[in-house]
Structure formats: C-alpha cells, structure tokens
C-alpha cells in the first residue's frame, strides 16, 4: 500500500515492520484532540491566506464529519497509516478529495503529536483534580463523624499515643491537598502550545501560532521550536505527580488492609468493595485496597520508563518519543480508576469504634501523659521519663496497665503523684487535651475540619 510519505521510497516495509512501527493501536485514544488540533490549524491557514477561504471551509467540514464519526466510534483505523495523524489525514482525503492534502501545510506530525498530548493531559489533569476533591470530601465527611473516636496512634507500628480517628483521616486529606496543588500547578506547563513548531525549525509560511494557541485554549506558545517538539517534561511531571499521589493512596490502603484484619478489627470494608475466596468460605478480602496498593507499582514504573526513554535523547524529535504514550494512557486510567474506587471505599467504610477504644485502653500509650504530669509538677522531663519507664516495667511484670496500679505504688515512685493521676491516665482526656496547633485534641480537630471544608 502506498504510504503518505512514500515519494522517495522504492519499496514499502514488510507487514511486520509496519506493525512494529505503528502507534495507531494506542494513539487512537488521541483522535478527538488530533482533530481539534487540525481544526485550529486549518482555521489559521485560511485566516493567514495560506489556504483560500473555500479550501479552509472544505477541510473544516471534512474534519467535523470525522469528529462526529470518531465520537460515534465509527472510524476504522489501519496499521498501514502508522498513527492517528496519518490515519486521520488519509480519511480526510478519502472524505473530501485531494484538497484534504493541504491540511498538512506548514505542519509536521512532530508538533501535531505534541499538541495532541498537551490537549489530552490538560483534560485529564483537570478531571484528576476533581476526583481528588471528591476523595477529600469523603474523608472530611467520615472525619466529622469520628472526631471523638479514639484509637492508638503508632510509631514504628508500636502503640505510641492515642489519637482521634478524624485526625488520622485528615492526615490523608492534607497529603491529597498537596497532590491537588501539584497537579493544578502543573497545568501551567501543560497549557502551552507547540503547534506551528513544525518538524523542528518552524516554517517559511506566514503562520500565526498565537491564533491556534488561542483557538485551542492554550495560555502560551513554546518560544523555541526545537524545545516545542522534543519537550516531554510535562508528561514526566504528570507521571511524577501521579506517582506521589499513588504512594499516598497506597500507604492509606496498607493501613486499611491492616485495620480490617482479625488482628486489628478497627474497620470493616463494605461488601461491595470486598471479594471472597474460591476455597475458604469464611474469607472477606480487601482486594480493592490491595489493588490500589499494587497499582502504585505500575504508575511509578511508567515514570521511570519515560525518564529512561528521555535520558540521552538528542534534539529534536526521535521516534523513541513514541514510547511516551502507552505509559501516559496507563497512568491516566490507573489514577482515575484508583481515585474513584478509593472514594467509594471510604464512603462505605464501617468504623469499629468500640474495638479502637478497647485497643487504646489495653496498652501503655498513656505513659507520656504520666511523664508530662510529673514534668508539669517541676520534675525535669528526663527524670520523669525514667520514673514512668520503671512504672511501665513494673506493670508489665504484674500483667496490668498504668490505670490499674494503686496510688501507693505511684507515691512510692515519686512523692509528686496524687489522686488526680488517674484522670491524666484516661486516654480520652489524653487526646482531648492535645490542642496545640495541628494537634489531635478534639477542639483542634474541629478547627482542622473547618479549614478543610473551606478548601474543598
């Protein structure tokens, strides 16, 4: 079959070479962006007198018909025409005749593909920002219901100090807030038009790049044609932002998985977000959370894959750059899917308040309160730490907790202890009193919820 670029060739590639070379199997996802880009380009060609008004209108009409068919899934692509750009050009020529061949005047697939990807990512980054917002809303709603639900806070996965469950959930809210701001900030660098850079050096035709940029909703144009066609930073940045977001989701999922184990029993996943075992009838597995944790791997993999493609690439366009697409599409699909599943999972999560509170009572996470108690009475904190450490050891020997230790034994350890020690040891009070800025105290958590609500 004759190639659209076949003029200087004596032979056509073997079928399997065509297949190896083609990107149409995956870049057909860019069809709408590709046609939008062409529509802007042809309008500009007519406006600048590079095509006649009639030629411009004929091409526009043809492109609109193709766009309609694309939306209805009626286009049939061929590996023979390599990629989305040549497939659409061929279809246009078939649709309106040889005049369709004028569309590619003063343009190259190199600026065309870059334009398509800028448009595609702009749309999806905006969608991802909204999906993050939805997840944040689910977290705030859940947090509001659990301001006074207390559970052990951990360091080293050892019980450390009790915290409010709302506070724990809100920690993820703020991570997501940073993710959201990174994605939003990146739009600045996505929203730049490479169109009109042509193959690498610009063009001799009197084009108007600012006009096409404006038609496509770009804020700026690339100021260097070599940079315009070879820049993939905006995709790396998207993948990097996605990786960090996925790491946050993965850490959260790891906690949810632990929490719904028999060992913790802090939460229960809704049946709609769990699966069973084909052999063990009793099982209810948190597969969705495990999948999100697992899928963080492919998103990070896509980032490393693209960085590796770019390393050592000379200017300007090289076919290696065709390898940027599958990872980008995969990252978009994965991130959008994970955010939606995660939101549903949080909305339907059942919280086992009793079990959380039971865990807080049967441990030593109130030991810091005791040391603080002595420190407030003037004992240097280091000495208070030592006194309480010894008391904890004593309790462990006896198989009891600090609340069970009689007052005489406290007094024996330090004359500063008085009857009010038991109030201080109450884990609920331990949380309630931590109202330093950003602390887990109920008052402070309510304040945090107000701030979170103001943002979303």
175 is an interface residue for ligand ARG by CB under 6 A? no
109 is an interface residue for ligand ARG by CB under 6 A? yes
> CA 58, CA 281: separation in Å to the nearest integer?
65
Read off φ and ψ for residue 162, nearest 5 degrees.
Answer: -70, 145
444 is an interface residue for ligand ARG by CB under 6 A? no
Read off φ and ψ for residue 230, nearest 5 degrees.
Answer: -110, -5
> CA 73, CA 68: separation in Å to the nearest integer?
9
Whole-angstrom CA distances from 249 to 19, 268, 299, 332, 350 are 37, 18, 12, 15, 19
Q: Minimum CB separation from ligand ARG for residue 313, in Å?
A: 12
Q: Please, what's the b/e burial string for 383-420 (b: 16 or more CB within 10 A of its CB; e: otherwise)?
A: ebbebbeebbeebeeeeebbeebeeeebeebbebbeee
Q: Minimum CB separation from ligand ARG for residue 431, in Å?
A: 55
- Where helices occur in 364-426 by DSSP H, the ranges are 367-376, 381-398, 407-413, 421-425
Query: For residues 302 and 322, which CB has a smaller minimum distance to ligand ARG in the complex?
Result: 322
Query: For residues 37 and 441, which CB has a smaller minimum distance to ligand ARG in the complex?
Result: 37
Kindly identify the residues of this chain, within the stretch 16-35, that bind ligand ARG according to CB under 6 A: 23, 27
> Which of 107, 187, 408, 289 lies closest to 88 in space, CA to CA?
107
Query: For residues 119 and 360, which CB has a smaller minimum distance to ligand ARG in the complex?
Result: 119
Whole-angstrom CA distances from 351 to 81, 254, 260, 265 are 56, 16, 10, 9
Q: Which of 146, 181, 242, 277 is catalytic?
A: 277
Q: Which of 78, 85, 118, 156 is catalytic?
A: 156
Candidates 91, 321, 430, 452; binder of ligand ARG (CB under 6 A) is 321
Q: Minimum CB separation from ligand ARG for residue 108, in Å?
A: 7
Q: Minimum CB separation from ligand ARG for residue 112, in Å?
A: 7
| Active site (annotated) includes residue 277 | yes
232 is an interface residue for ligand ARG by CB under 6 A? no
83 is an interface residue for ligand ARG by CB under 6 A? yes
Pick the stretch among 60-68, 292-300, 320-328, 345-353 that binds ligand ARG (CB under 6 A).
320-328
Q: Minimum CB separation from ligand ARG for residue 323, in Å?
A: 8
402 is an interface residue for ligand ARG by CB under 6 A? no
Kindly identify the residues of this chain, within the stretch 58-77, that bind ligand ARG according to CB under 6 A: none
Task: List CB contacts of 178: < 8 A, sequence separation 6 or more.
Answer: none
8-state DSSP, 275:
B
Task: List CB contacts of 412: < 8 A, sequence separation 6 or more.
Answer: none
Candidates 38, 87, 110, 225; binder of ligand ARG (CB under 6 A) is 110
User: Which 3 state secondary structure label does DSSP give 240?
Assistant: helix
Q: Minimum CB separation from ligand ARG for residue 23, in Å?
A: 4
Q: Minimum CB separation from ligand ARG for residue 305, in Å?
A: 15
Structural contact between residues 96 and 65, judged by C-beta atoms closer than 8 angstroms: no
Structural contact between residues 441 and 433, judged by C-beta atoms closer than 8 angstroms: yes
Candidates 252, 273, 317, 373; binder of ligand ARG (CB under 6 A) is 317
Total residues contacting ligand ARG (rule CB under 6 A)? Answer: 11
**Cα 11-12-15 angle, rounded to 5 deg:** 140
117 is an interface residue for ligand ARG by CB under 6 A? no
Candidates 113, 138, 143, 449; binder of ligand ARG (CB under 6 A) is 113
> CA 417, CA 38: separation in Å to the nearest integer?
80
| Active site (annotated) includes residue 385 | no
Pick the stretch among 64-72, 288-296, 315-323, 363-371 that binds ligand ARG (CB under 6 A).
315-323
> Which of 249, 81, 7, 441 lies closest to 257 in space, CA to CA?
249
Pick the stretch among 12-20, 165-173, 290-298, 318-326 that binds ligand ARG (CB under 6 A).
318-326
Candidates 212, 322, 331, 366; binder of ligand ARG (CB under 6 A) is 322
Q: Minimum CB separation from ligand ARG for residue 321, in Å?
A: 5
Token pair listed for 170: 């809100």
Query: For residues 88 and 335, which CB has a smaller minimum distance to ligand ARG in the complex?
Result: 88
Instruction: List residues with catalytic annotation.
Output: 156, 277
Residues lying near ligand ARG in the complex (CB under 6 A) are found at: 23, 27, 83, 109-110, 113, 317, 319, 321-322, 325
């Amino acid at each position: 079959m004759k190639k659209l670029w076949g003029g200087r060739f004596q032979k056509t590639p073997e079928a399997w070479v065509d297949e190896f070379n083609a990107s149409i199997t995956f870049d057909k996802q860019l069809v709408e962006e590709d046609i939008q880009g062409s529509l802007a380009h042809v309008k500009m060609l007519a406006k600048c007198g590079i095509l006649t008004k009639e030629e411009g209108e004929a091409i526009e009409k043809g492109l609109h018909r193709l766009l309609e068919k694309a939306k209805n899934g009626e286009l049939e692509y061929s590996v023979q025409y390599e990629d989305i750009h040549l497939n659409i050009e061929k279809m246009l020529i078939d649709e309106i005749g040889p005049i369709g061949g004028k569309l590619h005047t003063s343009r190259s697939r190199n600026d065309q593909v870059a334009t398509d990807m800028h448009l595609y990512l702009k749309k999806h980054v905006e969608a991802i920002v909204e999906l993050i917002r939805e997840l944040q809303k689910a977290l705030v709603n859940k947090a509001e219901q659990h301001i006074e639900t207390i559970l052990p806070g951990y360091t080293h996965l050892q019980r450390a100090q009790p915290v409010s469950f709302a506070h724990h959930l809100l920690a993820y809210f703020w991570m997501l807030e940073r993710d959201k701001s990174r994605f939003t900030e990146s739009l600045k660098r996505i929203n730049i038009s490479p169109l009109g850079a042509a193959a690498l050096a610009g063009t001799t035709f009197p084009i108007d790049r600012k006009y096409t940029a404006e038609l496509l909703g770009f804020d700026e144009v690339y100021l260097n044609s070599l940079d315009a066609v070879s820049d993939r930073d905006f995709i790396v940045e998207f993948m990097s932002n996605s990786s960090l977001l996925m790491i946050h989701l993965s850490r959260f999922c790891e906690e949810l998985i632990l929490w719904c184990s028999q060992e913790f029993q802090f939460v229960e996943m809704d049946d709609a977000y769990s699966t069973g075992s084909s052999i063990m009838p009793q099982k209810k597995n948190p597969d969705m959370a495990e999948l999100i944790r697992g899928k963080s791997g492919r998103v990070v993999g896509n980032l490393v894959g693209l960085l590796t493609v770019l390393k050592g690439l000379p200017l300007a366009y090289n076919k290696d750059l065709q390898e940027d697409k599958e990872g980008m599409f995969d990252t978009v699909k994965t991130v959008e899917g994970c955010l939606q599943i995660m939101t549903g999972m949080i909305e339907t999560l059942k919280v086992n308040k009793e079990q959380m509170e039971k865990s807080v009572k049967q441990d030593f996470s109130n030991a810091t309160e005791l040391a603080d108690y002595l420190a407030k009475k003037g004992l240097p904190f280091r000495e208070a730490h030592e006194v309480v450490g010894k008391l904890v050891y004593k309790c462990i020997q006896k198989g009891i907790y600090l609340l069970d230790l009689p007052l005489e034994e406290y007094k024996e350890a330090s004359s500063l202890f008085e009857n009010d020690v038991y109030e201080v040891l109450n884990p609920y009070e331990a949380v309630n009193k931590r109202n330093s800025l950003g602390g887990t105290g109920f008052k402070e958590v309510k304040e945090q919820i107000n701030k979170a609500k103001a943002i979303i």
